[in-house]
Amino acid sequence: MAEIVRMPKMSDTMEEGVIAKWHKKVGDQVKAGELMAEIETDKATMDYESYSEGTILYLGAKEGEPVKVNDVLAVVGKKGEDYKALLESAGKSGGDGGKAADKPKEEVASAEKKSEQAIDTSNIKAEIVLMPKMSDTMEEGVIASWAKKVGDKVKKGELLAEVETDKATMEYESYHEGTLLYQGAEAGKAVPVNGVLAIIGDKDADWQTLLKAHQQKAEGKSASKPEPAKAEAKAPEPEKQPAAVASAAEPSGGRVKASPLARMMAKEKGYDISRIKGTGDNGRVTKRDVENYRPEAEPAAAKAGAPVVLPSVIGEERFEEVPVSQMRKTIARRLSESKFSAPHFYLTMEINMDKVVQARKSLNEVSPVKLSFNDIVIKATAAALRQHPDVNVSWLGDKIRRNQHIHIGVAVAVKDGLVVPVVRFADSKSLSHIAAEVKELAQKAHDKKLQPSDWEGSTFTISNLGMFGIEEFTAIINPPDACILAVGGIKETAIVKNGVVVPGNVMKVTLSCDHRAVDGATGAAFLQTLKQLLEDPVRILI
């Protein structure tokens, strides 16, 4: 009997997995324990071994496609067995290759079609003018003034109205020709983006029926579409977008009326458009006015006060949109939850690292593994946590978990973001042991070979950006830990020692604390102990 294989939850934070590679295809035999696929989670790329036995009848996704946790990954059964009923009962249709049925879309299309056919407007010689989206953040425009009134003739390129957006007052030029039959709003009233701004057409056109049909169609779409707000916010096609430019102001506070083409020509020629006399409607500056303008005819005093004309710079706006990886999605979600749910506070302390620098040099002469400053910080932090158990805690909502073991998470930067493998029982391990383990975990992280046991269970986290030249920073707490230590670089600077200014090596650390679980005095006491241990590192070797 056919059996559905569902996407397993391979980590505590996993919500979906991407099929990195299929090791079996439809029609292949698979045995229990055999490798079926490689799945990319938010933490690593992991092997998925089959728990079922039989023939692969169906695959729920292609390579590179995501599958949500508990969604259908595959169907395994007897060769030739009908599995479509099983897929339908699982919430998926097998007839279209595992994709969800398109009935809702068909129903929407049908509803829209009926709505469109309800009123015949094919013989009405008029067009509806919609409010364009004149800025990237515009949601509605306020009619500042109408340049035409109902019954007036309108030509293409003529000023129809001035529209106040969230950015500026813009001039709206008509790209239709005919008689203005209807205005969508009075001066001072708002019209939403893609709302009816006006109707232009033949003088005797039945614009009332056209408007009614448009409203019926809009109501049908809003009733059938799940996200009407997004549909309304969609801007018109670029080729239909009317020309709109911000209106300039005269020195006296009045407005300079000019066509967009005239403004552009004046700008390219370096002319002050407020000095050009307009011959168009109501003194509007036209293309011909700019062409006929002679700045040399102006008095020398006026020219002396003219603004400096800068040459036009032409460039190309380009960008690339990169799909968000599973790891980056989880980082965004978890750190957002941490930052906005846990009340963070920060404690910064400066530590003299002179003795650590000397000790590391001596230890590396005898250590089987090269020690880094971060390895020494991990060891010192573990020793300080043993003395301050109230920092080694987790907030669980109705209770605080005081961890008696010390598992330190070490933030490691990888290609797609950040992972935090864990050094377990760090307080019981030697420096060389910690160094070797951190190197191994970092390599596994870069190769995407970390297993859940490698990243789960931290009780405290360290994030070190000192190797990048960062002197000081604050880090966001890594749940469920209550604290994270941000470690900066060691900087050689002047310090005061025994009343004398001498050169010294200084490192700044910042402790981020969840105030629900750790108080300021508790965090400060922990930092004081950490400072003492690092300024006298022989104490952490005991």
State both tokens at 33: 């324990």
Per-residue pLDDT at 431 exceeds 90: yes
pLDDT band for position 399 (50/70/90)? very high
Neighbouring CB atoms inside 10 A of 76's CB total 24
Cβ pair 52, 73 in contact under 8 A: no
Per-residue pLDDT at 442 exceeds 90: yes
Mean pLDDT for the stretch of residues 446-454? 86
Poorest-confidence range of 4-8, 119-123, 534-538? 119-123
Cβ pair 526, 386 in contact under 8 A: no
Per-residue pLDDT at 76 exceeds 60: yes
Of 96, 447, 519, 536, the catalytic one is 519
Poorest-confidence range of 158-167, 180-189, 290-299, 509-518? 290-299
Cβ pair 233, 139 in contact under 8 A: yes
Mean pLDDT for the stretch of residues 357-385? 94
Instruction: State the greatest distance between any 2 C-alpha atoms of the chain, in Å, as a whole number.
Output: 99
Poorest-confidence range of 300-314, 402-416, 426-440? 300-314
pLDDT band for position 10 (50/70/90)? confident
For residue 93, the model assigns a pLDDT of 41
Per-residue pLDDT at 506 exceeds 90: yes
If we measure between CA atoms, which residue out of 87, 327, 112 comes closest to residue 220? 112
For residue 305, the model assigns a pLDDT of 57
For residue 511, the model assigns a pLDDT of 97
27: alpha, beta or left? (left if phi > 0; alpha if psi -120 to 50): left
Query: Which is more confidently placed, 415 or 535?
Result: 535
Mean pLDDT for the stretch of residues 301-307? 55
Question: Crossing angle, helix 103-117 and helix 207-224, to 10 degrees?
Answer: 170
Distance CA 24, CA 59 (A): 9
Mean pLDDT for the stretch of residues 273-302? 74
> In which element (H, E) is residue 109 found?
helix 103-117
Query: What is the CATH number assigned to the segment(s) 250-304?
Result: 4.10.320.10
For residue 123, the model assigns a pLDDT of 85
pLDDT band for position 253 (50/70/90)? very low
Per-residue pLDDT at 418 exceeds 70: yes
Looking at mean pLDDT, say which of 84-93, 137-146, 160-169, 399-408 comes out highest. Answer: 399-408
pLDDT band for position 237 (50/70/90)? very low
Determine phi and psi for 16, rounding to 5 degrees. Answer: -155, 160
Q: What percent of the chain has pLDDT over 70?
A: 84
Count the alpha carbons within 13 Å of 421 in the hemisphere toward its beta carbon: 21
* Residue 519: active-site member: yes
Q: What percent of the chain has pLDDT over 90?
A: 38
Collapsing DSSP to helix, strand or coil, 539 comes out as helix
pLDDT band for position 8 (50/70/90)? confident
Where b means 16+ CB within 10 Å and e means fewer, 268-292 reads eeebbbbebebebeeebbbbebbee
Cβ pair 516, 395 in contact under 8 A: yes
Distance CA 23, CA 297 (A): 81
User: How far, in whole angstroms, is CA 229 from its chain's centroid?
Assistant: 20
Determine phi and psi for 322, rounding to 5 degrees. Answer: -105, 130
For residue 224, the model assigns a pLDDT of 55
pLDDT band for position 484 (50/70/90)? very high
Per-residue pLDDT at 409 exceeds 90: yes
For residue 116, the model assigns a pLDDT of 46
List beta partners, residue 192.
140
The single residue listed with the structure tokens 């049909």 is: 213
Poorest-confidence range of 127-141, 177-191, 348-362? 127-141
Bridge-based pairing state of the strands 460-464 and 408-410: parallel
Query: Which is more confidently placed, 275 or 407?
Result: 407
Cβ pair 466, 489 in contact under 8 A: yes
Domain boundaries, the chain: 3-95, 120-240, 250-304, 326-541
For residue 294, the model assigns a pLDDT of 81
For residue 176, the model assigns a pLDDT of 86
For residue 184, the model assigns a pLDDT of 92
Collapsing DSSP to helix, strand or coil, 520 comes out as helix
Mean pLDDT for the stretch of residues 255-266? 73
Cβ pair 200, 129 in contact under 8 A: yes
For residue 91, the model assigns a pLDDT of 65
Bond before 480 cis per omega within 30 degrees: yes
Neighbouring CB atoms inside 10 A of 523's CB total 22
For residue 436, the model assigns a pLDDT of 95
Looking at mean pLDDT, say which of 149-163, 190-204, 336-350, 379-393 comes out highest. Answer: 379-393
Where b means 16+ CB within 10 Å and e means fewer, 439-456 reads eebbebbeebebebebbb
Cβ pair 194, 173 in contact under 8 A: no
167-188 residue pLDDT tens: 677 788 888 899 999 999 998 8
Poorest-confidence range of 117-121, 151-155, 248-252, 520-524? 248-252
For residue 435, the model assigns a pLDDT of 95
Query: What is the CATH number assigned to the segment(s) 326-541?
Result: 3.30.559.10
Per-residue pLDDT at 39 exceeds 80: yes
Helix boundaries (H) for 351-456: 354-363, 373-387, 431-446, 452-455
Collapsing DSSP to helix, strand or coil, 76 comes out as strand
Average pLDDT, the chain: 82
CA distances from 453 to 125, 264, 449, 457 (A): 71, 64, 11, 8
For residue 222, the model assigns a pLDDT of 61
Domains 3-95 and 120-240 share a fold: yes
Q: Which fold has domain 120-240?
A: OB fold (Dihydrolipoamide Acetyltransferase, E2P) (2.40.50)
For residue 121, the model assigns a pLDDT of 81
Cβ neighbours for 123, distance < 8 A, ≥ 6 positions apart: none
Distance CA 409, CA 438 (A): 10
For residue 235, the model assigns a pLDDT of 38
Per-residue pLDDT at 117 exceeds 70: no
If we measure between CA atoms, which residue out of 323, 265, 243 comes closest to residue 18? 323
Using CB atoms within 10 Å of the CB of residue 300, give its burial: 0 to 12 exposed, 13 to 18 middle, 19+ buried: exposed
Question: Crossing angle, helix 354-363 and helix 373-387, to 10 degrees?
Answer: 110
Q: Which fold has domain 3-95?
A: OB fold (Dihydrolipoamide Acetyltransferase, E2P) (2.40.50)
